[in-house]
Structure 1
Amino acid sequence: MRHNFYRIILIAGLLLTSAANSQIHALDGLRYTAETQASFSSGANTPFWLVNNKQGLSSIKNNSGYVRAAVFRDMDSTDHRFRWGAGADIAGCWNFTSSFVIQQLYFEARYRSLGLLIGQKEINGIFSNPRLSSGDLLYSGNARPIPQLRVGLPEYTFVPFTKQWLAVKGYIAFGAFTDDGWQRHFANKTAKRTKHALYHGKAIFFRIGQTQRPWNVEAGLEMAAQFGGSSIRNGQTTKMPVSFKDILKVIFAGGGGSNTPIGEQLNVYGNHV
């Protein structure tokens, strides 16, 4: 009887979560949503598929939930020279690492082929489909968005004088991680953790072949790095430099200077992926 009771509680939690109330409406160019979700489990943690692939808005605690509201202005798909969009997405949470979460808050704009993003927005990998995979090596879909400044070519743009046989897209971004409190709470006192760490990301991709042809080839490189801030281990704090020269070393994956740990000097400055 006891095991049957636990199964009933688990099934009820699954049904409640899958039946979460979500309303999506559009008004005068704005898209707004309201959503609530709760999960209950007799185990020690929330079931795997109820906590993963939610862009970090989830809790591993066995009984948890949230109420979420958001408003967005999506960039239209018309061929205007200038387009812009913005979004605000907040949640009040129960049994999460935070009781109040700013999931998204951003402004983005495009002029011709150039794109700009300021703030934190849910971003998926360039090639991975979030509905079919758990993400790529850089963006797993299991962490909250990183506040950042991001500029580049969001969509493939034809290279002049190539008769539309060669197109390029890419970006460069700088931002800051916001998980200092979570690391301090979660990590063992003797474990290594970071504080006030900064983020750098960049990518460039090429496409060979005209769009009306039955084939094309795509190839590129995407890279991200964690740098700056402080590294803490066994109560000892090592402050990492963030001068202009250090930022250039992060961009070009160069070795750290004499004011960085020996490992950074022998390899590269920062944690690169």
Structure 2
Amino acid sequence: MHRERKDAPLLQVRGLRKAFGGVVAIQNVDLDVAAGSVHAIIGPNGAGKTTAFNCITAFVKPTGGRIMLAGERIDGLPAHVVARHGIARTYQNVRLFPNMTGIENVLVGQHRRLRATFWEAILGTGRFRREEKEARERALHYLDFVGIPHRAQHLARNMPYGDQRRLEIARALVGDPRMLMLDEPAAGMNPTEGRLLVELIERVRGELGVTVVLIEHHMRVVMAVAERITVFDRGAILTEGTPGEIQADERVIAAYLGRRSGQTGPAPEPIHAVPAAIPTLEARLA
């Protein structure tokens, strides 16, 4: 468990830039994330949110800029070294081992904590057996923490989508990160699952002391859980503020709904009132 000094910057990003050939995906991104906070990143599709995540977690190499974690520069490091510094993440699309059980998927997340050698595992030494027992206990603990202890022996591919999302979070948490980065964790969830996700994120921050950064389009989730919100648009940061400030910002409304400043006509819905999901098919009994 990590208890960073609350409100001190845990993550600092300065002048972050990423270009793919001649296409600049993000440019001049400055971002501060306070330790012990829940910080949301929002913006239209293609705004550069996931590219920023990928740069911070070393999934892709930045073209320019600096990334600091707890005052230590981490840009340019390999992804596994960044993970050792205490950053864990999930992805837009579920990335589990489909033919492995829930507990096996979480055990994978503990690889950097284990010290037994290959030969110790082959020979079944005392240290290997102790580590294996402790790893299984930790895996079961985190499956229980995220609310799916009953999925320990179920194959990941057979789990409901919402439980697969929770399994990913358990796998990320078992490595004892300082910061958890969630890329659209509420995608595909119904309103009930969204509320349970909010409760889980609050527990991750409150009980584990882990700083949470999330990309999310589900505005009810964002407004319920985030203390600070950064808005991306066209590869750059449009604005940043509290949920109340973001909700009332005309630039944010324009970015999401296409309304320009000074445009006449009915005012758009407040951001927090955007429906959680718009059905593409409805069937009703006559």
What TM-score results when the alignment is normalised by the length of structure 2? Answer: 0.23
Scaled by the length of structure 1, the TM-score of the pair is 0.24
> Which of structures 1 and 2 has the larger relative contact order (alpha carbons within 8 angstroms, sep 6+)?
2
